[in-house]
A and B are shown apart, each in its own frame.
Chain A
Amino acid sequence: MARAEQLGEALPYFPAVGLSLGVLLVALDLVLRPLLAPTVVDALLVGALVVLSGALHLDGLVDTCDAVCAPVTPEARLALMRDSRAHDAGTAAACLLLLGKLAALQALPAAARWPTLLAAPLLARWAIVAAYWAYPYARSTPGASLALKAQATTRRALAATLFTLAALALLLGLAAPLVLAAAGLTVHALATLIRARLPGLTGDTYGAIAELTEALALVLVPLTLGGYA
């Protein structure tokens, strides 16, 4: 386990982790498609995304939706996010997100399939770095997120962004800056929504931002690669 003051050194590599997850998805896709029906493969890929991230980000989405939708003060919402149990809003959000990812994978045009599988997890992890760098953190209790926030320097965010842009350029060509900008806008819109209801971001909200950016990327990438037939 890395010491807290070294965690920040990992930030520039977050998108690379995302790209690695994408490579695993493509590998799974290669192995499974000759064996199984397309819908089944898509469902397994959605499941793989959950399992590979240890359901960390999905848990963040559930907790964030529960907190944001609760009719209580921002401070009470922070406490609510610490509650590991799910409420109605989070449950519905998780169902709809997974259903959305399944539908997005099912709809992928063949030519866009692998670039999308590679780009979506990449953009999701970039979104986390961007959110750490750009917005205030809500808690003062020591933890991984507080350490990461303190060490999310512009230099590190820039390194992560350059890596993401380079990888996207290889995958998507000229559409790369457009897709990255759209992901950036998504992060900003989500962070603004969250900050209207909470004193700042928390570890859970980074997960929510990652999940929603990933889902959006699953649709955005095929749209920029010629659209749906």
Chain B
Amino acid sequence: MKPVSFLVALQFLSHLPTPAGLPVEGPALGRALGWFPVVGLLLGGLLAAADLLLGRALPRPLVDVLLLVLLALLTGGLHLDGFMDTCDGLFSLRSPEDRLAIFRDSRVGSFGVVGAAVLLLTQWAALGALPTAARPAILLVTLAVARWAMVYAIVAFPYGRPEGLGRRFKEQAGAGALVAATLVAGGAAGLLLGWAGLAALGLAAAATVLFARYCLGRLPGLTGDTYGALDELVETLLLVALPPLLRALG
């Protein structure tokens, strides 16, 4: 796991500044996959810091909206975009090929709008229900494990297009990247949240399998958009599930 691979991962997963000239294809992408959860930890750390800072002046519900805005800005709305396109493609009653074409359409249909509204509303409500003391740890683990879920999906399930950014990752993705990502995500989750963190990783794995199977029933394979959708879904799932998991196992 070379540190430069972290920057490669960062350039794909965030709008944070990265040095120019980083590789955008080839084996470097495979190595970057191992660093996906580390990018999640960085984004989670930034959110946790903003949470502490904003929380001094503003009430909780307002801070929670600002955290969602900040995350959308930090990621360039990448995963949210994928989630909306996935809603439009998967919920339309079309052939798998037409669905792939819908993914490529940058316009948002009704399913995408409804999906985004429900997703953001759920994330907001879930943030509001987080136990105060565990908020920073939950933010870190949630974002790290959601990015781990993308690695799992990329490595373990077939890709649906002849080309595309997702294809470039898929071609370089090996079991080694998944092992590295799992060690990082599992280690961070276990250290920060104990058994509840490890249970969250298991939950994310189950969600990834279910979501990937659902997609594969409707598409020739996964795509970059569905990876983004998975990230958003796992984030939402963990924000909802971690408080009860912590009560039961913490």
Contact = CB atoms under 8 A, between A and B. Distances in A.
B34 to A, nearest CB: 28
B129 to A, nearest CB: 14
A91 B121 contact: no
B112 A91 contact: yes
A70 B116 CA distance: 19
Interface in B87-115: 106-108, 112-113
Contacts of A87: 106-108
Contact of A86 (B113, B121, B124): B113
B84 A100 contact: no
A69 B73 CA distance: 11
B61 A86 contact: no
Contacts, number: 70
B158 interface: no
Interface string B68-82: 110010001100110
Contacts of B62: 100, 103-104, 107, 219
Contacts of A100: 62, 65-66, 69
B113 A91 contact: yes
Interface in B47-71: 57-59, 61-62, 64-66, 68-69
B24 interface: no
Contact of A107 (B58, B84, B108, B113): B58
Interface centre among A70, A90, A103, A228 (most CB of B within 10 A): A103
Given A91-B113, A103-B64, A228 B58 contact: yes
Contacts of A96: 65, 68-69, 72, 120
A106 B84 CA distance: 28
Interface residues of B, number: 27
A92 B120 contact: yes
B235 to A, nearest CB: 14
A223 interface: yes
A85 interface: yes
Contacts of A106: 61
Interface in A72-107: 85-92, 95-96, 99-100, 103-104, 106-107
B59 A107 contact: yes
Interface centre among A69, A86, A88, A100 (most CB of B within 10 A): A88
A229 to B, nearest CB: 9
Nearest to A66: B106
Contact of B77 (A92, A99, A219, A228): A92
A223 B57 contact: yes
Given A91-B112, A107-B62, A99 B107 contact: no
Interface in A176-229: 219, 223, 227-228
A212 B121 CA distance: 19
Interface string A137-156: 00000000000000000000
A195 B112 CA distance: 29
A76 to B, nearest CB: 12
B231 interface: no
Contact of B120 (A88, A99, A227): A99
Given A89-B81, A96-B120, 16 more contacts: A85-B107, A86-B107, A88-B77, A88-B80, A88-B81, A88-B84, A92-B80, A95-B120, A95-B121, A99-B124, A103-B65, A103-B124, A107-B62, A219-B62, A227-B57, A228-B59
26 contacts: A85-B107, A86-B113, A87-B107, A88-B77, A88-B80, A88-B84, A89-B77, A91-B84, A91-B108, A92-B77, A92-B84, A92-B120, A96-B65, A96-B72, A99-B65, A100-B62, A100-B69, A103-B64, A103-B65, A104-B62, A107-B58, A107-B59, A107-B62, A219-B58, A219-B62, A228-B58
Sort A-B residue pairs by CB-CB distance and give the 8 closest, nearest first: A107-B59, A88-B81, A103-B61, A100-B65, A103-B62, A103-B65, A95-B120, A85-B107
